[in-house]
């Protein structure tokens, strides 16, 4: 683990959220401070607010650095659904979900039996996260426990907050990628003992989905979660109509797809369900009642042709479901959270809803932290929160610079960023109060 970070403070325009704009409106929840100071010490934010206010209480020995012109300080981005082992197979042509798993995903994941391969990919994956301002991720590893060790070891060295878990699969996958209900339980329990709550690391119990886990394995995963309720639980849910139809065949006694998990004790707070595009109203109602979350992964959904998630329906005021944002690499096509927000806008448009930039930036930060039940620790610029933040360059390309000159207000400026921006817009990424990546000098950061 890196040594505690020394005090640091940044001054410049900042954006954060104090609540959920989908429920309480942007006016009451969005804080855009044109001249803010964010001060950090020992990995936490010690001060945040208008510079004129913060300067009154900030110890005089803290050096305040102004960020570059045309910057915006935002909380570190949170990716609620991603497969680090799929980094080498991003952009695999020509298949929809179930074929894509068979043709590309499983052959690729076989290679993670080799821990050194897993480590190399984990390193590249985490660097790519930092380049894109992602400071927390909820990560699927492979069935191999050593793939989890490799990711956690690399994340710990960087001081990142990561939730991750060994994929559980005991059927409909190549023999070498299968565990059993018992071995999957035992291996996951050993990984929990080793990693859960160590520094900033959290364990996520990870049955891949109903297609690759028998009822016995889902029951074992449910028992494991009951024994370790502080862990997260992640799986896939209602991503494509073909998958939903297959679940009906595999689990004929279950009421619906969500009930496949619910009946095995796998629906509750800290459950993060990937996709959830093809859910009916009663399933959304149940997710709401259970306080579970959906990870919305628009680049993946468009890439695999899975569908367009209806976010307005998911957060409906009478039964709002927690929704976070996911890149879903490698079905997802970009590590850029800005690009992912641009696609979330398009998914909403296909459902006749215009997602505002303010709501979108909430989703990428506090909303995703809330989906992981971490909103009291990450996802906001607030004293006491962990000091993960991003300095965005609001003029990162000639076209964006030109377009920004035409923008009439802050909402329009933000919308330009999520529609046209990408990794080039990430000037600095701070992790636990330490500069972890700098666009102008990436090799100089530890």
How many angstroms separate the CA atoms of 168 and 185, rounded?
A: 8
33 binds, among ligand GUN, Zn ion, none (CB under 5 to 8 A by kind): none
CB atoms within 10 A of CB 254: 18
196 binds, among Zn ion, ligand GUN, none (CB under 5 to 8 A by kind): none
Q: What per-residue string of b and e applies to 364-398 under the rule 16 or more CB within 10 Å gives b?
A: bbbbbbbbbbbbebbbbbbeebbbbbbbbbbbbee
Nearest to ligand GUN of 212, 336 (CB atom): 212
Q: Shortest Cβ distance from residue 394 to ligand GUN (Å)?
A: 32
Tokens of 385: 């929160």
Nearest to ligand GUN of 239, 262 (CB atom): 239
Q: Shortest Cβ distance from residue 211 to ligand GUN (Å)?
A: 7
Q: Shortest Cβ distance from residue 328 to ligand GUN (Å)?
A: 5
Nearest to ligand GUN of 109, 149 (CB atom): 109
Q: Shortest Cβ distance from residue 83 to Zn ion (Å)?
A: 6
434 binds, among ligand GUN, Zn ion, none (CB under 5 to 8 A by kind): none
Nearest to Zn ion of 73, 169 (CB atom): 169
84 binds, among Zn ion, ligand GUN, none (CB under 5 to 8 A by kind): none
Q: Shortest Cβ distance from residue 130 to ligand GUN (Å)?
A: 23
Residue numbers at the binding site for ligand GUN (CB under 6 A): 83, 97, 101, 105, 208-209, 236, 239, 300, 328, 331
Nearest to ligand GUN of 208, 270 (CB atom): 208
Nearest to ligand GUN of 40, 97 (CB atom): 97
Cα 223 to Cα 26, 41, 169, 186, 264: the distances in Å are 40, 40, 16, 12, 8
Nearest to Zn ion of 235, 380 (CB atom): 235
418 binds, among Zn ion, ligand GUN, none (CB under 5 to 8 A by kind): none
208 binds, among ligand GUN, Zn ion, none (CB under 5 to 8 A by kind): ligand GUN
Cβ neighbours of residue 3 closer than 8 Å, sequence gap 6 or more: none
13 binds, among ligand GUN, Zn ion, none (CB under 5 to 8 A by kind): none
Contact (Cβ atoms closer than 8 angstroms) between residue 370 and residue 136: no
H or E, element range at 277: none
How many angstroms separate the CA atoms of 40 and 433, rounded?
A: 6
Q: Shortest Cβ distance from residue 83 to ligand GUN (Å)?
A: 5
Burial class (CB in 10 A: 0-12, 13-18, 19+), 93: exposed
First vs last C-alpha separation in the chain: 12
Nearest CA-CA partner of 73 in 135, 161, 10, 160: 10
Contact (Cβ atoms closer than 8 angstroms) between residue 163 and residue 184: no
283 binds, among ligand GUN, Zn ion, none (CB under 5 to 8 A by kind): none
Q: Shortest Cβ distance from residue 57 to ligand GUN (Å)?
A: 47
* Total residues in contact with Zn ion, by rule CB under 5 A: 2
239 binds, among Zn ion, ligand GUN, none (CB under 5 to 8 A by kind): ligand GUN
Positive or negative, the CA dihedral 87, 211, 116, 224 is positive
Nearest to Zn ion of 54, 101 (CB atom): 101
Nearest to ligand GUN of 112, 209 (CB atom): 209
Q: Shortest Cβ distance from residue 235 to Zn ion (Å)?
A: 9
309 binds, among Zn ion, ligand GUN, none (CB under 5 to 8 A by kind): none
Nearest CA-CA partner of 319 in 349, 336, 343, 294: 294
Nearest to Zn ion of 46, 301 (CB atom): 301
Q: Shortest Cβ distance from residue 188 to ligand GUN (Å)?
A: 17
Cα 173 to Cα 169, 202, 208, 235, 242: the distances in Å are 7, 27, 11, 16, 17
Cα 151 to Cα 141, 166, 372: the distances in Å are 8, 11, 19
C-alpha dihedral over 435, 439, 440, 441, to 10 degrees?
A: 50
Nearest to ligand GUN of 71, 108 (CB atom): 108
Q: Shortest Cβ distance from residue 315 to ligand GUN (Å)?
A: 22
Instruction: Quote the distance between the C-alpha of residue 168 and its chain's center.
Output: 20
Judged by CB under 5 A, does residue 210 bind Zn ion? no
343 binds, among ligand GUN, Zn ion, none (CB under 5 to 8 A by kind): none
274-333: which residues touch Zn ion (CB under 5 A)? 274, 328
CB atoms within 10 A of CB 116: 9
Contact (Cβ atoms closer than 8 angstroms) between residue 53 and residue 113: no
Q: Shortest Cβ distance from residue 11 to Zn ion (Å)?
A: 39
CB atoms within 10 A of CB 250: 16
Using alpha carbons only, give the angle 353, 356, 358 rounded to the nearest 5 degrees.
150
Where does this chain bind Zn ion (CB under 5 A)? 274, 328
């Amino acid at each position: 683990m890196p040594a505690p970070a020394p005090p640091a403070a940044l001054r410049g325009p900042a954006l954060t959220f104090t609540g959920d704009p989908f429920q309480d409106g942007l006016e009451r929840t969005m804080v855009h401070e044109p001249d803010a100071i964010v001060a950090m010490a020992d990995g936490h934010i010690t001060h945040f607010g208008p510079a004129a206010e913060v300067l009154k209480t900030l110890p005089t020995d803290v050096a305040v650095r102004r960020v570059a012109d045309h910057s915006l300080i935002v909380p570190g981005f949170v990716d609620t659904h991603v497969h680090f082992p799929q980094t080498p197979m991003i952009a695999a042509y020509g298949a929809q979900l179930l074929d894509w798993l068979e043709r590309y995903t499983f052959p690729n994941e076989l290679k993670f039996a080799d821990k050194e391969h897993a480590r190399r990919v984990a390193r590249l994956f985490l660097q790519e996260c930092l380049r894109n301002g992602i400071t927390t991720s909820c990560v699927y590893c492979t069935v191999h426990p050593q793939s989890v060790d490799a990711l956690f070891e690399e994340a710990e060295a960087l001081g990142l907050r990561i939730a991750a878990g060994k994929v559980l699969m005991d059927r409909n996958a190549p023999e070498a990628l299968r565990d059993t209900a018992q071995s999957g339980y035992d291996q996951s329990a050993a990984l929990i003992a080793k990693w859960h709550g160590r520094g900033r690391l959290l364990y996520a119990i990870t049955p891949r989905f109903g297609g690759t886990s028998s009822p016995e394995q889902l029951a074992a995963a449910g028992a494991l979660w009951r024994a370790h309720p502080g862990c997260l639980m992640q799986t896939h849910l209602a991503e494509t109509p073909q998958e939903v139809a297959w679940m009906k065949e595999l689990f004929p006694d279950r009421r619906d797809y969500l009930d496949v998990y619910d009946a095995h004790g796998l629906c509750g707070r800290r459950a993060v369900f990937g996709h959830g595009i093809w859910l009916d109203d009663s399933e959304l109602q149940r997710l709401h009642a259970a306080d579970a979350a959906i990870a919305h992964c628009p680049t993946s959904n468009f890439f695999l042709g899975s569908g367009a998630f209806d976010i307005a329906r998911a957060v409906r005021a009478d039964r709002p479901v927690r929704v976070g944002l996911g890149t879903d690499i490698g079905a997802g096509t970009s590590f850029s959270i800005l690009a992912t927000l641009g696609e979330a806008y398009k998914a909403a448009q296909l459902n006749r809803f215009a997602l505002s930039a303010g709501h979108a930036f909430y989703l990428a930060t506090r909303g995703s932290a809330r989906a992981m039940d971490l909103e009291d620790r990450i996802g906001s610029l607030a004293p006491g929160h962990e000091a993960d933040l991003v300095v965005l360059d609001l003029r990162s390309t000639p076209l964006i610079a030109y377009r920004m000159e035409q923008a009439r207000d802050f909402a329009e400026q933000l919308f330009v960023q999520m529609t046209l921006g990408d990794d080039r817009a990430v000037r600095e990424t701070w992790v636990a109060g330490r500069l972890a990546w700098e666009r102008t000098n990436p090799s100089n950061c530890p």
